[in-house]
Structure 1
Amino acid sequence: MLQINARESFAKIGKEVGLSAPAIGKRVRQLEEDGIIEGYALRVNHEKLGVETKAYITLVMHQGLTGTSDVLDRIRAMEEVQSCDRITGDDCICVLGYFKNNRHLIAFLEKMSQYGSTKTSIILEV
Structure 2
Amino acid sequence: MDVFDKKILEMLKINARESFANIGKEVGLSAPAIGKRVRQMEEEGIIEGYALKVNHEKLGIETKAYITLVIHRGPKVASDAQKQILAMEEVQSCDRITGDDCLCVLGYFKNNKHLISFLEKIAEYGASKTSIILEV
Unaligned runs of 5+ in 1: none
> Aligned match of 1:46 in 56, 76, 91?
56
| Equivalenced residues, count | 126
Say if 2:71 and 2:77, in contact at 8 Å, map to a contact too: no
Structure 2 residue 80 is the aligned partner of structure 1 residue 70: yes
TM-score (norm 2): 0.89
- Is the CA contact (8 Å cut-off) linking 1:65 and 1:115 kept in structure 2? no
TM-score of the superposed pair, with normalisation by structure 1: 0.96
The higher relative CO (CA closer than 8 Å, separation ≥ 6) is in 1
Question: Who is 2:42 aligned against?
Answer: 32
Higher fraction of helix: 2
Percent identical among aligned pairs is 80
Alignment RMSD? 1.1
Question: How big is the shift at 1:78?
Answer: 0.3
Residues 1:86 and 2:112 aligned together? no
1:37 maps to amino acid: I
Deviations 1:61-109 (A, max 9, x none): 1335833221111000000000110000110000000000001000000
- Secondary structure at the counterpart of residue 2 of structure 1: helix
